[in-house]
Amino acid sequence: MRRRRHEKGFTLLEVMITVAVIAILAAIAIPAFTKETRKSGASSEVAAMFGELAVRQEQYRLENGGYLATTACPSTPSAQPQDASACIASGSDWEKLRVRLPTETLRCSYVTEVGSGTGTDNPEGFTFTSPPGSWFYIIATCDMDGDAATTSKYFVSSIDSKIQRQNEGL
């Protein structure tokens, strides 16, 4: 019998170890990727809506002498996109502000609080101290993972346009 000199291939043990390593890496990478995808989806929607609402609030203030408080719209956040046409329906707060939705659907719920004068500090745990004059802040609540027990929250105000975040991606 002839002996084979240079056998090529992998042993069963080598293949099993490789598969195990790939499985461990996938178990780590897939949840991280999913969370990052949720974060980017919420961040892009929130940034566009905050920009639109802030501009409309400033325009409303110039025309009417003050900011306009709005009720939460959509009323609850959802992991699935919701039709936002009711938010700009005739007679709604957003219609009074003349909001132009950047998209027809929203996942996050947006509410605007307004005030005049000092005395309001850190609403819902965000960093905010009301100034002496008129002010507003907008809070977005997002449920990007479909678990209503924990939500992401975003905050912006008339005195600081930098978006503050809590529990981003949840």
On whether residue 94 sits in a domain, the answer given is yes
The per-residue pLDDT for range 62-84, each reduced to its tens digit, is 999 999 999 999 999 988 899 99
On whether residue 67 sits in a domain, the answer given is yes
Domain residues for the domain of 137 are 13-166
The per-residue pLDDT for range 119-151, each reduced to its tens digit, is 888 898 899 999 999 999 999 999 888 777 788
34-41's contacts with Cβ under 8 Å and 24+ in sequence apart are 35/169, 36/169, 38/144, 38/145, 38/169, 38/170, 39/144, 39/168, 39/169, 41/107, 41/144
Residue partners of 83: CB distance under 8 A and separation at least 6: 104, 105
Residue 10, SS3 per DSSP: coil
Question: What is the average per-residue pLDDT within 15-28?
Answer: 92
**Tokens at residue 3, please?**
């002996």
Q: How many domains does the chain have?
A: 1
Vertex 64, ends 100 and 133: CA angle to 5°? Answer: 105
On whether residue 17 sits in a domain, the answer given is yes
On whether residue 7 sits in a domain, the answer given is no
Determine what percent of the chain is predicted with pLDDT higher than 70.
94
Cα 165 to chain centroid, rounded: 8
On whether residue 4 sits in a domain, the answer given is no
